[in-house]
Amino acid sequence: MKTIKFKYIYVAVAMAVLGSCSEDFVTIDPKGKFDTSTYFSNEQQCYAALIGVYDPLRKNTGGFENLVAMLNAGSDDFYAGGGSSTDGTGIQNFSTHSLTSITIPGSYWNDHYQGISRANLLIAKLPAASMNDGVRSRFAAEAKALRAFYYFNLVRLFKNLALVLEPLTTETIYDPEQVAPEVIYAQIEKDLTEAIAALPNKVNAETEAGRFNKGAAQALLGKVYLFEGKNPQAAAVLAEVNGTPGGVNQYGNKLLDHFSELWITSNK
């Protein structure tokens, strides 16, 4: 009889304990990843995200599949080389002008769109972040300049692209469609023009080296105009960057006197 009573008491206590459990007991905070719905809340988080937008710039000169090596292999500057004609299929096909949609390294598409995706997300999140408006404006300008740079590389490599300017979701990921190159170039011009208006004339060489300033965005816009055949516009914007030949421009920089001086490390 005592045993029976004890069993009833044990079951009652167990039910009471189980019934008192809250959702907190089974709710686990994600570790090792950020929730985009709550991140981007302040300047520090947005700055970290901005660094992420800069990261795909490594595609130009970093790693084996970098643009400088690949595109020069397609010119008269050098041959792809390597152990054989199959050593590095991508660079070999650049060298022989035999690229196809199968042989071109996928990173040329993926890395640039990764940068665009990060820029789109940061631009969308910045308005709600708790931060100084001047810093917010600069971050947005840098993100737009970077987005323009990534689209500029893409449109020259692939011509027909999907123009994506908003963060994609599971509902919209299949919506983007290819547009004409002229549409991409128009967006590049728009992004750079808006960025130039908000970027600083100079950056701190000690703490901000490598970040976009006004002159860098203007130089990029001038190059974009040249690729579009808009020579008068290119001349006008590049004149602002170069200044008077032999003199110092409005940002305190000047062109080197001799082309060979580009290879003197102290001139960087």
What is the pLDDT at residue 22? 60
List the helix and strand counts (H, then E) for the chain. 9, 2
Q: Bigger pLDDT: 8 or 207?
A: 207
Percent over 70 (pLDDT), the chain: 87
What is the pLDDT at residue 19? 53
Q: Tens digits of per-residue pLDDT, 31-64?
A: 666 677 778 899 999 999 999 999 999 999 998 8
What is the pLDDT at residue 60? 92
Instruction: For residue 267, name the pLDDT band (cuts at 50, 70, 90).
Output: confident
Kindly list the domain boundaries of the chain, sorted by start residue.
Answer: 35-65+105-267
Reported pTM: 0.83
16 secondary structure, DSSP code: H
**35-65+105-267: CATH class:** mainly alpha
Res. 73: pLDDT tops 70:
yes
What is the pLDDT at residue 256? 84
Q: Tens digits of per-residue pLDDT, 98-134?
A: 988 888 899 999 999 999 999 999 999 999 999 999 9
Mean pLDDT (the chain) is 88
Sequence-distant (6+) residues with CB within 8 A of 195 are: 141, 142, 144, 145, 148, 212, 217
User: From CA 150, how far away is CA 111, in angstroms rounded?
Assistant: 9
What is the pLDDT at residue 162? 96
Instruction: For residue 245, name the pLDDT band (cuts at 50, 70, 90).
Output: confident
Which of 1-15, 34-48, 201-215 has the largest mean confidence? 201-215
Q: Is 63 left (phi over 0), alpha (psi -120 to 50) or beta?
A: left
